[in-house]
Every structure is written in C-alpha cells, then in structure tokens.
Amino acid sequence: MAHVEHDVISGQNTTGHEWDGIKELNTPLPKWWVYVFWATVIWAIGYWIAMPAWPTPNGFTRGMMEYSSRGDLANELDIQKKARSQWLGKLEAASVEDIAKDKTLLNYALAGGKIAFGENCSACHGAGGVGVAGNYPRLADDEWIWGGTLEDIHQTIQYGVRNTNSDSRQSEMLAFGTGDALDKTQVDQLADYVVSLSSKTPAAGSPGEAIFAERCTACHGEGGVGTKELGAPALNNSIWLFKGDKETAKQGIINQVTKPRHGSMPAWGERLDAATIKMLTVYVHSLGGGK
C-alpha cells in the first residue's frame, strides 16, 4: 500500500508514488477547471442531440434542429436570385443598345459582366481582356477582328468562332506557298510587304505589293485595312496575334501565310443565359472603346 506523506516544502501531501527518490505530490485540479470541463462535456452532448453530428451509411444524423449549412446556402442563393430577378428580367427584355442607353441598367450590366468575364473569359483572354500573344486576342483595345459594335460583340459571344454551332462565325485563311503558284521567294517578298504595312511605310512598287494585291486584298482589303465581315484582320497596324515580336515579325508572317493557325471560341449562348450574355457584351464593349 502506498505510503502518503506530508511534503514540508510544498505543504501538500504526496500520493505515495515514488520514482528514483522523486515523490509525486497530490495536487488536485482547480475547481473552476473541473467545472469548465464538465460544462463542455454537457455542451457536447447537447450539441450532439440538437445538431447534425454523426455520419451514417445513408447520410448523417439530422439532430433535433435539423440544421443544414448547405440548406442555408441554398436559401441565401434563392434570396439573391429573387432580388436580382427584376434586373435580369429587364436585361433579358432589352437589347444591348437599349442597355447601353439606360444608365442604371448599364451600371448593373457592367458590374455583372465583370464578374461573368472573370469566371468564364479571363482564363483565355486574361484579366481585363489583356489577351495572350500568340493564342488569344486582346480585348482591351479598339481593334476588332469581327467588328466592335455592341451587336457584333453580342453575336461573337453568343455563337462563338469556328465551333460546331451552326451560327458561329466562320473563316479560314488559305495556305500559300504549299502547292499553289507562290514559290519560296514570292512568299518572302509578300512577308516583306506585309511587314512594311504594319510599320506604316508600305513598300510601294515592290514585288510583294503586286502579290498582295493579287492574293490578299480580296479578304484583307487594299492596303491591309481588314474586312470584319470575313473575319480578316487588319494588317496595316502593329496589333498582331500570331506575328511575334519585331525580331521575328517576318518569320511569323511567313509561318501564318504558309501554315495558317485558326483559333476557336465556344458558343457561350449554349452555356450562359441571355442576361449574362448581354452583360458580357456591354462589359467587353467597354474594355477597348468598342465601335
């Protein structure tokens, strides 16, 4: 039987346990700590009974209050949807031109469009529409391949570009110098002329100018001004998607002339509702000073 002693130094009794000459003091827990501990035990039992707590093979214990954080979220979303329904209804009923003229609707559409752009478009076109050189067009400028009016942008977003939707915008650049009448020298001359167009100093009278007039103006227009109805971009500026930097400009043009790259954009009208498409339209239109 353990021998209990009174420790003179601490003034407390020992438990009678001793290890290598070290005696264990009998120091009970403070009463306030014990009370708090049992209070937490009681609270845990009450919480277990009142709230969802334990997983089961078919779900979880619902508890007396049948609380659900997922249900709370669903209710909050439903409240937000009802609050937004009046605005969304107005957006669906109005044309994009009418939305742009109504200051209140426009402000709402711009705010909603910014959010929708971040969720659906920024992965390709970058935050704020800055684009990705060599892959996705920049939207934060006033150069528009398929037209920059509200209706042009709306159609592009709604139906997309070069996809399986029957109403998507379609265009395809022919490959030159790979079986047609243009040889390597002529392709090189054509590239020199296109480079001169973008530098604002066209090489008038050059062999490349004659080739461009014969082969390229039908789509890109005289002087390379572009044809938005055909999705043929302007070539008389420095806004290029596939050209590359100044050092590789000519080679980039040769690559595009001989092995054209054709990007694709999904038909967002198949994924988003009409109101969201219109909000995206006015937001994108605002990024680069739409036409």
Rounded to the nearest 5 degrees, what angle is found at the Cα of 272, between the Cα atoms of 270 and 277? 105
Q: Which residues of the chain have pLDDT under 70?
A: 1-2, 179-180, 243-247, 289-290
Residue 105, both tokens: 């609707």
Instruction: Tell which residue, 82, 77, 53, has the closest CA to residue 66.
Output: 53
- SS3 of 191, please? helix
Q: What is the pLDDT of residue 170?
A: 94
Measured between alpha carbons, how far is 76 from 168 in angstroms, rounded to an integer? 37
Measured between alpha carbons, how far is 33 from 114 in angstroms, rounded to an integer? 54
Measured between alpha carbons, how far is 226 from 217 in angstroms, rounded to an integer? 9
Measured between alpha carbons, how far is 233 from 262 in angstroms, rounded to an integer? 12
Compute the chain's Rg from CA coordinates: 36
Measured between alpha carbons, how far is 13 from 97 in angstroms, rounded to an integer? 90
Rounded to the nearest 5 degrees, what angle is found at the Cα of 204, between the Cα atoms of 146 and 245? 55
| 42 class by beta-carbon count within 10 Å (0-12 exposed, 13-18 middle, 19+ buried) | exposed
Tell me the per-residue pLDDT of 140-187, one tens digit each, with 9 for 90 and over.
Answer: 988 899 999 999 999 999 999 999 999 999 999 988 877 667 888 999
Is residue 25 within 8 Å of residue 14, measured between CB atoms?
yes
Q: What is the pLDDT of residue 78?
A: 87
Backbone angles phi, psi at 200, to 5 degrees: 70, 15
Is there a common fold for 70-168+265-287 and 184-258?
Answer: yes
Q: What is the pLDDT of residue 100?
A: 94
Is residue 289 within 8 Å of residue 282, measured between CB atoms?
no
Is residue 142 within 8 Å of residue 237, measured between CB atoms?
no
Residue 71, both tokens: 């249900």
Q: What is the pLDDT of residue 246?
A: 57
**Which superfamily does CATH assign the domain made up of 184-258 to?**
Cytochrome c-like domain (1.10.760.10)
Strand partners, 56: 59
Is beta strand 22-25 parallel, antiparallel or unpaired with respect to 55-56? unpaired
Fold of 70-168+265-287: Cytochrome Bc1 Complex; Chain D, domain 2 (1.10.760)
Q: What is the pLDDT of residue 19?
A: 86
Measured between alpha carbons, how far is 169 from 173 in angstroms, rounded to an integer? 14
Contacts of residue 97, defined as CB under 8 A and 6 or more positions apart, other chains included, come to 150, 151
Q: Which 8-state DSSP code applies to residue 246?
A: G
Is residue 5 within 8 Å of residue 13, measured between CB atoms?
yes
Tell me how far CA of residue 40 lies from CA of 36, 37, 43, 63, 64, in angstroms: 6, 5, 5, 19, 19
Residue 283, both tokens: 């937001």
Residue spans per domain, the chain: 14-60, 70-168+265-287, 184-258
Amino acid at position 164, single letter: T
Q: What is the pLDDT of residue 86?
A: 84
Measured between alpha carbons, how far apart are the two ends of the chain, in Å? 98
